[in-house]
């Protein structure tokens, strides 16, 4: 299994001092604001592909 892309900045404070969290896959810790957060991919939106085709027709 390949590694996922890492976040570039904290979603709370915007700092770039992030480290992988101890809570498992997708968990990150921000050293600047001392927050822990988890990222997860939920899936693709069905309207995302139809919306792109609709915009091209205009």
Q: Give the span between the Cα atoms of 17 and 15, in whole angstroms.
A: 6
**Bridge partners, residue 27, by sequence:** 38
Quick: pLDDT tens for 33-48: 999 999 988 888 888 5
* Average confidence score pLDDT of the chain: 83
**Residue 22: CB partners within 8 Å, gap ≥ 6?**
29
Assess whether pLDDT exceeds 50 at residue 1.
Answer: no
Task: Enter the pTM of the model.
Answer: 0.65
- Written as one string, the DSSP assignment of 8-40 is SS-TTT----EEE-TTSTTEEEETTTTEEEE--
Structure tokens at 37: 């957060």
**Residue 53: CB partners within 8 Å, gap ≥ 6?**
none
> What are the extents of the domains in the chain?
1-58
19 confidence band (pLDDT: 50, 70, 90): very high
Architecture of domain 1-58: Single Sheet (2.20)
């Amino acid at each position: 299994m390949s590694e996922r892309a890492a976040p570039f900045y904290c979603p709370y404070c915007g700092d770039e001092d992030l480290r992988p969290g101890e809570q498992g896959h997708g968990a990150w810790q921000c050293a600047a604001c001392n927050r822990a957060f988890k990222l997860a991919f939920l899936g693709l939106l069905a309207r995302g592909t139809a919306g792109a085709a609709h915009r091209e027709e205009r």
